[in-house]
């Protein structure tokens, strides 16, 4: 989820009112607004805003569908509720942003307000020490193993979805693209979209590479090698790790030598 400073033009709440609060995160179907010490994730829609003679927002086009028309707000609400279900299964964990009121049926997620995401921190601050980097990697690896143990495929491990608090402790957030697998799942195979824990591990390797080198890198779904498993980005399409600190760990993540996230936990 991308970090923002002001509400973008054309965003409306599901009841049709215009978003005029500070927006600190924006995804494909959910936005995060700041409310004091809280960050509130809610569904939103993009609509043309009708402005008054003073140029200020006046109203938006109606959101309630005509009788017989499809209500495009329904899948947005369902996605938020699915993400809340993931947070409920995960419970409280030091490596996951803390959420509140998860039993509420309201289509929103109330979270502790964090300082910012890892991508912006790396862009705006000097390179963190190796001690800090190692602390982050250990926390992320242990937390990823915890998430997988709770039968959840993350599917979107990237700098934007890793938050830092005031003490630079790192936490996972934004499970909008994640999959809640059956509790009896054996951690093998993929979800309906082709994601697996091996893709999560590959993406974790890309996060490590970017933090260590300061260079961009993506690990994404690749071509299907069998009827049941999609691979990640081909090794030849990823950067070299020669001379890179912890490069052997990154290599094992990218080449799927690590078969479980538990193997990543001891850099």
Residue 48 domain-assigned (yes or no): yes
Indicate whether 159 pLDDT > 80. Answer: yes
Same domain (yes/no): 59, 132: no
Residue 256 domain-assigned (yes or no): yes
Question: Among 112, 140, 160, which residue terminates a domain?
Answer: 112
Mean pLDDT of the chain: 87
Domain count, the chain: 2
Tokens of 150: 């709770």
Same domain (yes/no): 107, 203: no
Same domain (yes/no): 154, 101: no
Range of the domain at 150: 116-264
Please, what is the Cα angle at 252 between 184 and 151, to 5 degrees?
15
Instruction: Give the pLDDT of residue 61.
Output: 56
Residue 80: strand, helix, or coil:
helix
Q: How confident is the model at residue 5 (pLDDT cuts 50, 70, 90)?
A: very low
Question: Among 59, 82, 112, which residue terminates a domain?
Answer: 112
Same domain (yes/no): 174, 81: no
Same domain (yes/no): 249, 169: yes
Indicate whether 7 pLDDT > 70. Answer: no
Residue 103 domain-assigned (yes or no): yes
Q: How confident is the model at residue 4 (pLDDT cuts 50, 70, 90)?
A: very low
pTM: 0.88
Indicate whether 30 pLDDT > 70. Answer: yes
Q: How far apart are CA 253 and CA 114, in angstroms?
A: 28
Residue 4 domain-assigned (yes or no): no
Percent of the chain with pLDDT over 70: 82
Percent of the chain with pLDDT over 90: 68
Q: How far apart are CA 139 and CA 236, in angstroms?
A: 29
Same domain (yes/no): 126, 77: no
Q: How far apart are CA 79 and CA 184, in angstroms?
A: 23
Judged by average pLDDT, the poorest of 32-36, 59-63, 69-73 is 59-63
Same domain (yes/no): 68, 138: no
């Amino acid at each position: 989820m991308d970090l923002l400073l002001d509400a973008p033009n054309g965003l409306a709440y599901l009841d049709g009112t215009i978003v005029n609060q500070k927006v600190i995160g924006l995804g494909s179907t959910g936005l995060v607004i700041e409310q004091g010490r809280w960050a509130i994730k809610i569904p939103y829609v993009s609509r043309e805003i009708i402005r008054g003679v003073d140029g200020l927002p006046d109203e938006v086009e109606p959101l309630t569908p005509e009788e017989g028309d499809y209500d495009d707000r329904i899948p947005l609400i369902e996605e938020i509720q699915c993400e809340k279900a993931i947070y409920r299964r995960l419970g409280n964990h030091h490596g996951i942003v803390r959420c509140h009121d998860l039993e509420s049926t309201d289509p929103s997620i109330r979270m502790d307000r964090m300082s910012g995401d890892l991508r912006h921190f790396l862009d705006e601050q000097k390179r963190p020490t190796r001690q800090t980097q190692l602390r982050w990697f250990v926390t992320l690896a242990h937390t990823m193993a915890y998430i997988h143990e709770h039968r959840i495929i993350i599917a979107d491990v990237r700098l934007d979805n890793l938050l830092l608090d005031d003490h630079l402790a790192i936490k996972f957030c934004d499970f909008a693209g994640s999959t809640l697998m059956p509790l009896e799942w054996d951690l093998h195979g993929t979800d309906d979209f082709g994601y697996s824990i091996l893709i999560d591990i590959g993406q974790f390797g890309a996060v490590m590479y970017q933090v260590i080198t300061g260079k961009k890198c993506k690990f994404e779904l690749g071509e299907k090698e069998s009827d049941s498993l999609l691979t990640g980005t081909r090794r030849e399409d990823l950067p070299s790790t020669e001379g890179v600190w912890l490069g052997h760990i990154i290599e094992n993540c990218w080449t799927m030598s690590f078969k479980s996230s538990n193997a990543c936990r001891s850099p």
